[in-house]
Structure 1
Amino acid sequence: MRTTQWTGWAALAGGAVLCAIGWYGISGERFAERQLPYLASCTIPGAALIVAGAILLARGEQGVAADRVAELHRLLVTVDEARPPEPAEATTAPDDRLVTVPEGTMYHRADCPLAADGRGGPIAPEAAGALSPCPICAPPPPSS
C-alpha cells in the first residue's frame, strides 16, 4: 500500500477514536455548558480527521487508477506509432439502383443501410408513384 493510503487509514482510525471519546464525555455530562469542551476538543476534530482520511483514501485510489491509465495510454501510443499507416480507402460511387423492401413505403438506393439486409427488391413500375424517397440515402426520383 502507498503512504497516502496508510495515512488515510490512520486519520480515519484516529477520527473514530476521537469521536468515540467525545461521545463518551458528552454522554456523562448533564448540562450543555459542560458538554462543549468535549465537542470542541474531540468530536469536531474527530469528524475532521474522518473526512480527511476519506479524502486521502479516495485520492490514493485515483492515483493508482491514473497511473494505470497513463501506462495504458503509453502502450497504445507506442503501438500506434510502430504500426505503418493504413492505405486510404478508395472512394466508390454510390449505387444508383433503386430498391424497396416488402410492404415498404419508401424507395432506397441499393446500398442504403435500411435496405441492405437482403430483403430489398427492384421497384415495381406501378408502385413507383406511391413511394416516397428515403431520407437516409436520398435517392434520385425513379424513372418511369
Structure 2
Amino acid sequence: MRTARLRTVHPVLWAGWAALAAGAVLCVIGWYGISGERFAERQLPYLASCTVPGAALIIASAVLLTHGRNALAAARVEELYGLLVAAESADADESGQAVTEPVAVSGELLMVPGGTLWHRADCPLVAGKTDALPVDSRVLARGELDPCPICEPAASDDRSSEAGG
C-alpha cells in the first residue's frame, strides 16, 4: 500500500544520489588536474572549476538525502497511523462502540523518591515498586511534582493522604 506522498519522496532521494555522484566525479577530476601541475597558479583553475563545485554538490547531496529520508519516514508514519485508525474504527464497528478503559482508577496517590511525577497507586509506572511512597498534600501544594501523563491523577483524588495527614 503506497501513498502519493511515498512516490513524491523518491525523486528527492534520486537527486541526492545524483548530486553525490557528480560531486565525487568533479572532486576526482579536480584532484587529478591539480596533481599534474607543479605551480600553484596553474592549480587554481582546477580548484575553482572542479573541486569547489564538487564539494558543494556533495554538501547539497547530503542535504537532499537527509530531507528525502526524513520525508520518507514521515510518510511511513502517516501510513501506519492511517492503518491504526482504520483498525480502531473496524474494532469499534464490530462492538458497536469504542471502548476505552482508563489505565488507572485508584484514588490513592504515590510517588517514587527522587522522581518528578505523582501517580495513582495502580499506575503501571509504579505498580510493583516497593519504594513508592504516599504523596503528601504539602508536596502537591508546593507543586514539586507533576501529574503522571499515563494515569492522569488529579489532586482531588488523594483521599488517603488527606485522611492520614
TM-score, normalised via structure 2 length:
0.52
Confirm whether residue 44 of structure 1 aligns to residue 52 of structure 2: yes
Instruction: Tell me the equivalent position of 1:137.
Output: 134
Q: For the residues of structure 1 that align with 2:75 and 2:133, how far apart are their CA atoms?
A: 44
CA distance in 2, matches of 1:112, 1:59: 43
Q: Which amino acid aligns with 1:20?
A: V
- 2:38, 2:84 → 1: CA distance? 66
- Three-state SS of the structure 2 residue aligned to 1:41 is helix
Equivalent position of 1:69 in the other structure: 77
Quote the sequence identity (%): 54
Residue aligned with 2:133, SS: coil
- Alpha-carbon separation, structure 1, partners of 2:53 and 2:14: 19
- Equivalent AA in structure 2 for residue 136 of structure 1: L
Q: Based on CA coordinates, which of the two structures has the bigger radius of gyration?
A: 1
Other-structure match for 1:107: none
1:58-98 C-alpha deviation (Å, 9 max, x unpaired): 2221121111111122233344456314366996676xxxx
- 5+ long unaligned stretches in structure 2: 1-6, 93-97, 109-120, 136-160
The 2-side partners of 1:92 and 1:62 are apart by 42
Q: Is the CA contact 1:112–1:137 (under 8 Å) kept in the aligned structure 2?
A: no
- Report which of the two has the higher share of helix: 2
User: In the aligned structure 2, how far is the partner of 1:22 from the partner of 1:8?
Assistant: 21
Contact 1:11 1:50 (C-alpha < 8 Å) held by counterparts:
yes
Q: Over aligned residue pairs, what C-alpha RMSD do you find?
A: 3.6
Unpaired runs of at least 5, structure 1: 95-110, 118-133
What CA distance in whole angstroms lies between the structure 2 residues aligned with 1:92 and 1:77?
A: 29
